[in-house]
Structure 1
Amino acid sequence: MTAGLPEGPIVAFYGDDFTGSAATMEALTFAGLPSALFFAAPTAEQLARFPGLRGIGIAGIARSQTPAWMQTHLPPVYEALRETAAPIVHYKICSTFDSAPHVGSIGAAIDIGQGIFGNSWVPLVTAAPAIHRYQAFGNLFATVAGRGFRLDRHPTMSRHPVTPMHEADLGLHLAQQTARAIDVVDFVSMKTGQADAEFASRRAAGAEILSLDIVDQETLAEAGRLVWENREYCQFAVGSQGLEYALIAYFQKRGWIAPQAQAPITERVRQVVGVSGSCSPVTAQQLDWADANGFRTLPLDATKAVAADSWDAEIARAVTAALGVLSEGQSPILYTARGPDDPSAHVLRPAVEAAGVTMEEVNDRIGNGLGRILNATLRETGLHRGIIAGGDTSSHAALAMGVYALTAVAATVPGAALNKAHSDDPAHRDLELALKGGQMGQPDYFGRIRAGGQDIASTI
């Protein structure tokens, strides 16, 4: 049931990393709006393989790139999204606003997008209660183990190795990346019936980017209403998957789509293979759980990635180790760091500086290498379910897998579903991939993927 909505795609989006892109595709699909995520602008032939799409996504790597890179690579992507004629065109960012003036610049992405779409305003929707992200008076909060933190005091984001957050006010943070006027429609106006007046006032005062507070389901739907009812042709919008959650909440409130049914599950398997480039304490807890529940975690020496030859040797060693674990009936997860306090997380940068290479080059090499490890291990064993943890990691690792698109198969936790991988390679005909951002998932996440979203209690 989608009465009241226009025909064809409703949202076309580009994600600045792969995990967030997959989370957006998942949100739409499980709400009854079939979507596909492509790893490059899809060809007409590829699109024809997915009839009836209501969401069309392109996964990218802009979060780990410079504004100069964006100037070259984003315009053709934006043009491809514009050609879909979707009412909403979404530049998808991380729900923890990972960005800086020199890398992953959300401001640069907005400036480039406005040069193509030319809308009179840009909605900014970052919060998403389903994944424990909240925005109040323009400040972003995220929870860890049930405890809420302002983003600049968040135990991970305040210490992020690439884009540490020193400011929770998203307007102030974004103002370092763009000269466009930024303002807020706050949750108080939304909950007191004054959102339209506040919106009009902020716009009249010259705001070009309007950040929308979200603290609960009521304000989520109200944010979706503000975007949908004030949209212009091919409305360019920026935000996390919270934008899709907001639109869905509004569509459901209007009765245009049915309330979400129980999320789908799929078959459980005995073994999976995982790779992780995340330094998050959330992922560290998940690795600890995995070691106690039929997995075996294997450390990688990321300093080997400062040179191609030594990294190739480390990849070969890792594949051999993973195959050995599988032969013993366990599931291997290969990781570069076990949380932000892992000693390995503190030796990489000195090694990079000593080698005279850039951190960006090494990070790209690490991500690509993790994909090669996963690809080789799955091919050698014939297993068909893999896990990639880490937002920046997933972008490069997934590209190394020879896959051109993903569609959501089974829910595990919001924002980190199990996906069907689509490839022209016969060896990957049955491949399933889960892409998990560093902050996403409960401690038993790896078990949930192994169980296909089913109850993990009886999983080996």
Structure 2
Amino acid sequence: MLFDVLDDSHLQTIGRLLANQARSAAPLLAVGASSVAQAYVSTLAQSAASGATAQREQLARARSPVFVLAGSLSPLTEVQIRAARSYRHIELDPLQMTGESAHSYLMAQVAAIADALRNGSNVLAFTSRREPNAVESSGALPQLAHACAVLLRQVLDAEKLQRVGIAGGGTSSIAVRALGAWGLSYLAPLSAGVSVCRVHADSPQLDGIELMLKGGQMGEVDLFEKLLEGHGDNDCTGV
């Protein structure tokens, strides 16, 4: 069934139809822009106002070290990196990640990240902002996203982690494909426009990871700290 929307009243009608369908036994797949979420949430808000109780999923505090990979060069992500005080910061050189010695450089960074995680530190690895124009002019941006994906997979193969974050639209999409997961399921919201999913994969090393994906310009300044702290005391394992 295909819907088109002209104004907010249409969103409310579509939201009611989605909510009714979601209550049925069959799974519901809704594809579209943010208006899909807006339509559905508006229905939940109306239900809450009429006396129904809407249960909000809670993300618990991380029980083990968290790894975040930030491949985005956006200004907001840069601010979020500076605000992430609970992490050990590891700066990645984009030109070395995509140059002739990329393999040896990446393996050295993977070893450093895995060692820090193994010793109990949260780790935030981010691509350097010092020469963004040099990276863009070199034509290395597509290769950089693939290099980030290789680094992520190598880190997760080296260390079994509970929670991981990826910042950057292109980085996220390529990195998720590199994991070889067969599915993602919604776990809980983290910030406006940012949610945490659960990874489903045949590999026991990857299956069950709580994964935050975000575009470069999404999320609040303290987003990476929230990924550690969660926003409630409930354990989300069964969500």
Give the 3 Å change call, closer, same or farther, for CA 238–275 of structure 1 in structure 2: same
1:334 counterpart residue number: 125
Is 1:346 the counterpart of 2:140 in the alignment? no
Task: Report if the CA contact (8 A) 1:273-1:374 is conserved.
Answer: no
SS of 1:427 mapped into structure 2: coil
1:401 is aligned, of 157, 174, 179, to: 179
Equivalent in the alignment of 1:180: none
User: Is the CA contact 2:194–2:214 (under 8 Å) kept in the aligned structure 1?
Assistant: yes
Q: Which of 70, 73, 77 is residue 279 of structure 1 equivalent to?
A: 73
- Residues 1:416 and 2:181 aligned together: no
For normalisation by structure 2, the TM-score amounts to 0.77
Q: 1:107 matched to which residue of 2?
A: none
Runs of 4+ in 1 over 6 A off after TM superposition: none
Matched, 1:241 2:34: yes
Letter aligned with residue 373 of structure 1: L
**SS of equivalent to 2:68:** strand
Residues 199-348 of structure 1: pairs in structure 2 closer than 5 A: 212=7, 219=8, 222-225=9-12, 240-250=33-43, 253=46, 260-290=54-84, 292-293=85-86, 295-307=87-99, 309-337=100-128, 342-348=129-135
Partner SS, residue 194 of structure 2: coil
Structure 1 unpaired stretches of 5+: 1-86, 90-121, 124-184, 186-211, 213-218, 230-236, 353-361, 456-460
Change beyond 3 A, Cα 1:228–1:381: closer
The secondary structure found in structure 2 opposite 1:297 is strand
Counterparts of 1:452 and 1:254, CA distance in 2: 26
Amino acid paired to 1:389: A
Is the CA contact (8 Å cut-off) linking 2:172 and 2:213 kept in structure 1?
A: yes
Report the number of matched residues: 221
Determine if contact 1:416/1:441 at 8 Å carries over to the other structure: yes
Contact 2:80-2:220 at 8 Å conserved across structures? yes
Cα shift at 1:267: 4.6
The one-letter code matched in structure 1 to 2:218 is M
C-alpha contact 1:448 1:454 (8 A) present in aligned 2: no
Aligned mates of 1:244, 1:227 — CA distance in 2: 11
1:411 is paired with a residue of what secondary structure?
strand
- Give SS of 2:179's match: coil
Larger Cα-atom Rg: 1
Counterpart amino acid of residue 282 in structure 1: L
Relative to 1, partners in 2 of residues 1:346 and 1:409: Cα closer, same or farther, differing over 3 Å? same
Give SS of 1:278's match.
Answer: coil
Determine if contact 1:301/1:314 at 8 Å carries over to the other structure: no
* Residues 325, 332 of structure 1: 8 Å contact kept: yes
Q: Displacement of 1:390 after TM fit?
A: 0.7
Deviations for 1:95-149, whole angstroms, at most 9, x for unmatched residues? xxxxxxxxxxxxxxxxxxxxxxxxxxx54xxxxxxxxxxxxxxxxxxxxxxxxxx
**Structure 2 CA distance for partners of 1:441 and 1:306, relative to 1, 3 Å:** same
CA distance in 1: counterparts of 2:32 and 2:208, whole angstroms: 32
Q: Bigger relative contact order, structure 1 or 2, given CA contacts below 8 A and separation 6+? A: 2
1:320 to partner: Cα distance: 1.7
Q: 1:453 to 1:315 in 2, by over 3 A?
A: farther
Please list the CA deviations of residues 55-114 of structure 1 after superposition, one character each: whole Å capped at 9, or x if unmatched.
Answer: xxxxxxxxxxxxxxxxxxxxxxxxxxxxxxxx347xxxxxxxxxxxxxxxxxxxxxxxxx
CA distance in 2, matches of 1:272, 1:298: 13
Contact between 2:64 and 2:161, CA under 8 Å: does it hold in 1? no
Change (3 A) 1:251 1:268: closer
Identity among equivalent pairs (%)? 25
1:301 partner amino acid = D
Aligned counterparts of 2:143 and 2:208: Cα–Cα separation in 1: 27
Residue equivalent to 1:384: 162
Residue by residue over 1:187-245, the C-alpha shift from the partner in whole angstroms, topping out at 9 and shown as x without a partner, is xxxxxxxxxxxxxxxxxxxxxxxxx5xxxxxx4xx24136579xxxxxxx985323322
Give the C-alpha shift of residue 415 in structure 1.
Answer: 2.3
Say if 2:228 is the partner of 1:450.
yes
Aligned equivalent of 1:441, options 219, 229, 234: 219
Q: For residues 264-285 of structure 1, give each alpha carbon's deviation from its aligned partner in whole angstroms, at most 9, with x where no partner exists.
A: 2235224111111111222112
Supply the RMSD in Å over aligned alpha carbons.
Answer: 3.2
Match of 1:178 in 2: none
Distance 2:120 2:32 in 1: 42
> What's the offset of the Cα at 1:411?
2.5
Contact 2:58-2:230 at 8 Å conserved across structures: no
Per the alignment, do residues 310 and 443 of structure 1 end up closer, same or farther by CA in structure 2, a change over 3 Å counting? Answer: same
Distance 1:384 1:88, change over 3 A: farther
